[in-house]
Amino acid sequence: MNDVNSNRRPIRARSSAWAQKLASFFIKNRISPNQISVASVFFAAFGVILLMAYPVPAGLIGCAAAIQGRLLCNLLDGMVAIEGGRQSVLGPLFNEFPDRIADSMLIVALGYASNLPALGWLGALSAVLTAYVRVFGGSLGLPQDFRGPMAKPQRMATMTVGCLMGALELVLAGTVYTLGVACAVIAAGSLATCATRSWAIAQWLQGKGA
């Protein structure tokens, strides 16, 4: 059976002093990991509102900030659960489902904001599929595979940079082509990630059957 650490996404910030202090704050104030996981969806929803309702530089910068808030929740929920000893029987459910909701909301909104809705839906579907392939590999007995090139951190980093560059583009040229580029990179990268993870599973199955 895979141990807990083999099924956690490797995040360097987890060992940083500021992250540990924040996690300790939540633990002391009895904020549960599941509550933090749900909060990540609200950050994503706020980002979507800013991106769609306020397509101005301030809105794009606010969306980038909301994305970082979502990622901070994703970091802290695991730290509070594992390091803080606050795991629950519903933890696996709250660990996965809010991520899929937040990813889909943000990437679909990015597609509409860049006037490429079909590309946004493709990116969202591909992002969900990367998680499906990862979890499917885990169901076969493999450790959770968080490889990229476009796993969740890379998707959100791409969208964050796209929003910030889009804000600058709006100021300088009045256009938002950068958002479309970010959406295309997320969609293509997510499909490539599905391929790399599926290939790894196939290689493992062939080795097991040899």
Q: Is the pLDDT of residue 169 over 80?
A: yes
Q: What is the mean pLDDT of residues 135-145?
A: 93
Q: What is the mean pLDDT of residues 182-191?
A: 98
Q: Is the pLDDT of residue 208 over 80?
A: no
Res 6: pLDDT: 54
Collapse the DSSP code of 146 into the 3-class scheme (helix H, G, I; strand E, B; otherwise coil) and give the result.
coil
Q: What is the mean pLDDT of residues 5-12?
A: 72
Q: Nearest CA to 60 among 155, 160, 167, 158? A: 167
- Reported as a pLDDT band with limits 50, 70 and 90, residue 207 is confident
- Condensed to tens digits (0 to 9), the pLDDT of residues 106-126 reads 999 999 999 999 999 999 999
- Enclosing domain of residue 141: 12-209
Res 1: pLDDT: 35
65's enclosing H/E stretch is helix 57-82
| Lowest-confidence region among 25-34, 79-88, 91-100, 199-208 | 79-88
Number of domains in the chain: 1
Q: What CATH number has the domain bearing residue 106? A: 1.20.120.1760
Query: Is residue 60 domain-resident?
Result: yes
185's enclosing H/E stretch is helix 177-209
Query: Is residue 193 domain-resident?
Result: yes
Res 3: pLDDT: 47
Query: Is residue 6 domain-resident?
Result: no
Q: List own/partner pairs for 189-192 with CB under 8 A and 24 or more apart.
A: 189/148, 189/149, 189/150, 189/154, 189/155, 189/158, 190/123, 190/126, 190/127, 190/129, 190/130, 190/150, 190/155, 191/126, 192/149, 192/150
- Reported as a pLDDT band with limits 50, 70 and 90, residue 137 is very high
For residue 22, give every residue at least 6 positions away whose Cβ sits within 8 Å of its Cβ, in sequence order, or none.
Answer: 72, 76
